[in-house]
Chain A
């Protein structure tokens, strides 16, 4: 039962409904993260410039191998197959920055400041996810622009490009939440920096990102079939080139929801854990 004390130096702010406070506080945290990015443009090199370099390198190197017959089909066909994989691979490789940024906050004096404020308890994670989702979306748009210059074709033009951006952002958000939980579990920025990218690399390679599942080594195939990277790449390929969409889209939706809800809840609990 809530006790109302006889003397109460009432706070000056006006209480608002919890869901409004959660959305407002998350937006404030997201705004702070974006302002930090804007004032420190060097921090955008990894999420926005490096993926473009990787895209050009991958397409140049592996596109030529395809011509020689190592990956099957003409280079144009393989390029059309490869680029969705590279887009998703970059999303998977960028998403762990969410966990690292959250851990930086948790390791600084700022964490105690946030925890001692009457703010929504999930706002630090939700705000981080919201600001990073904008970065993921910008990354996808830039990659698609360069990919188009490299010969990548998307059906339905703008609608197709928007759909691919949305799918890539949703996938990256799921991996980002997973990385946030893992980072808070690891609880050491240096260790997390070394550890968090391994699962992302493994996810990307044990999937259909770079080759059809049937062409992978036998032990990889069962993992690759249920890998969310495979589902995400399949959705992008279907949107770009045609093909079955419902099944991979459903699979990706389930993965994304599970990745956001389960590790997300655990990450918020971990962030707020009073020790």
Chain B
């Protein structure tokens, strides 16, 4: 299996937060997506951002990934401001969005080469990194096939490989397993677990609460554009009822009574229908 990541100066990883969000606000017309959001993601951790549809998760992820600007407040990634120093931020992040950012009419290898070269790698380094990642993600045999022939799980793995081409210090995963079958989710999580153990900082949004429960170091619950709870999965469960309480129960307790899930955040890019947050709580394939 190839090397998924090559963390640099990991010994200093805790010195500066990977992500520092301070008093961030964002609105789309009359719809408020984020209201005075504060949160910190420590380097080397896997942090989950949970919330009902329309809570503002994707808006926050897009701001962190330099794809959207906050109306107020500040976001820093490894100390760099996402607005004023967007180039520095982009050089240090990898983004895997809800929809695979791939060229369907090219092969998996061609996609990785393109992304790697655009990220600044030389042709040789991009080729060796592409070979390394396709091997690590089980895509070697399919590397020369056009992406349009890939299954959903293969696309997500290739998308993840593309995100890792330039050895990002922070991996931003916006619902990476949504729509995948259990086998594909299991494969993807095996890769993410290896990245985590290698020290890559990850920010994850997911509608599968069991995934957050099982893999996240820290969970932030976003509701109506605000962070309403933060802590380890164990802490959140304790707060909601203690022994025997699932993260699903904790999540529902924290967000109970809202009655309007999925109504906000229309301009933010949050996609999906219905109240999936409370439905998709199936066990993580192991």
Assess the B78–A7 pair: CB atoms within 8 A: yes
Residues of A near B66 (CB, < 8 A) are 115-116, 274
A126 to chain B, nearest CB (A): 13
Per-residue contact bits, chain A 107-121, to B (CB 8 Å; 1 contact, 0 not):
011111111111100
Report the stretch among B88-96, B131-139, B214-222 that lies at the interface. Answer: B88-96
Question: What is the interface size of chain B, counting residues whose CB is below 8 A from a CB of the partner?
Answer: 54
B246 to chain A, nearest CB (A): 32
Complex CA distance for A7 and B11, rounded to whole angstroms = 10
Residues of B near A108 (CB, < 8 A) are 99, 101
Per-residue contact bits, chain A 68-112, to B (CB 8 Å; 1 contact, 0 not):
000000000000000000000000000000000000000011111
B176 to chain A, nearest CB (A): 12
Q: Is B54 an interface residue (CB 8 A)?
A: no
Q: Is A36 an interface residue (CB 8 A)?
A: yes
Assess the A113–B101 pair: CB atoms within 8 A: yes
Residues of B near A123 (CB, < 8 A) are 118
Complex CA distance for A164 and B9, rounded to whole angstroms = 58
Q: Is B15 an interface residue (CB 8 A)?
A: yes
Complex CA distance for A12 and B129, rounded to whole angstroms = 12
B40 to chain A, nearest CB (A): 14
Q: Is B193 an interface residue (CB 8 A)?
A: no
Q: Is A194 an interface residue (CB 8 A)?
A: no
Q: Is A246 an interface residue (CB 8 A)?
A: no
Assess the A5–B101 pair: CB atoms within 8 A: no
Q: Is A156 an interface residue (CB 8 A)?
A: no
DSSP majority for the B interface? loop
Assess the B68–A274 pair: CB atoms within 8 A: yes
Complex CA distance for A123 and B120, rounded to whole angstroms = 13
Closest to A14 in B: B120
Residues of B near A25 (CB, < 8 A) are 118
B95, B146, B170, most chain A CB atoms within 10 A: B95
Instruction: Give the residues from 45 to 67 in chain A that come closer than 8 angstroms, CB to CB, to chain B.
Output: none
Per-residue contact bits, chain B 73-112, to A (CB 8 Å; 1 contact, 0 not):
0001011110011010011110101111111011000100
Assess the B103–A32 pair: CB atoms within 8 A: yes
> Given known contacts A3-B81, A32-B114, is B67 in contact with A274 (CB within 8 Å)?
yes
Report the stretch among B161-169, B203-211, B228-236 that lies at the interface. Answer: B161-169
Instruction: Give the residues from 1 to 53 in chain B that come closer than 8 angstroms, CB to CB, to chain A.
Output: 6-9, 12-13, 15-16, 43
Per-residue contact bits, chain A 5-45, to B (CB 8 Å; 1 contact, 0 not):
11111111111100001001100110010011001100000
Assess the B9–A12 pair: CB atoms within 8 A: no
Q: Which of A8, A29, A111, A119 contacts B79 (CB 8 A)?
A: A8
Q: Is B223 an interface residue (CB 8 A)?
A: no
Complex CA distance for A5 and B15, rounded to whole angstroms = 10
Q: Which of B95, B99, B120 contacts A13 (CB 8 A)?
A: B120
Assess the A28–B68 pair: CB atoms within 8 A: no
Complex CA distance for A140 and B81, rounded to whole angstroms = 48
Residues of A near B106 (CB, < 8 A) are 32, 35-36, 39
Residues of A near B6 (CB, < 8 A) are 12
Residues of A near B99 (CB, < 8 A) are 108-109
Residues of A near B43 (CB, < 8 A) are 7, 9
Q: Which of A7, A13, A119 contacts B16 (CB 8 A)?
A: A7
DSSP majority for the A interface? loop
Q: Is B115 an interface residue (CB 8 A)?
A: yes
Q: Which of B9, B105, B120, B162 contacts A40 (CB 8 A)?
A: B105
Q: Is B154 an interface residue (CB 8 A)?
A: no
Q: Is A2 an interface residue (CB 8 A)?
A: yes
Residues of B near A5 (CB, < 8 A) are 16, 76, 78-80
Complex CA distance for A9 and B92, rounded to whole angstroms = 7
Assess the A39–B146 pair: CB atoms within 8 A: yes
Assess the A7–B121 pair: CB atoms within 8 A: no
Assess the B7–A9 pair: CB atoms within 8 A: yes
Q: Is B119 an interface residue (CB 8 A)?
A: yes
Residues of B near A118 (CB, < 8 A) are 87, 90-91, 119-120, 166
Assess the B67–A117 pair: CB atoms within 8 A: no
A16 to chain B, nearest CB (A): 8
Q: Is B69 an interface residue (CB 8 A)?
A: yes
A5, A109, A110, A113, most chain B CB atoms within 10 A: A113
Assess the B105–A39 pair: CB atoms within 8 A: yes
Residues of A near B277 (CB, < 8 A) are none
> Given known contacts A10-B8, A11-B166, A13-B119, is B101 in contact with A275 (CB within 8 Å)?
no
Q: Which of A2, A6, A28, A109 contacts B118 (CB 8 A)?
A: A28
Complex CA distance for A115 and B114, rounded to whole angstroms = 14
Complex CA distance for A108 and B76, rounded to whole angstroms = 27
Q: Is B117 an interface residue (CB 8 A)?
A: yes
8 further interface pairs, Cβ-Cβ under 8 Å (given A14-B120, A32-B114, A109-B100): A6-B16, A8-B78, A9-B43, A11-B91, A12-B125, A24-B117, A116-B66, A118-B90
- 8 residue pairs from A and B, CB less than 8 Å apart: A7-B43, A16-B120, A109-B100, A109-B101, A112-B65, A113-B115, A117-B115, A118-B87
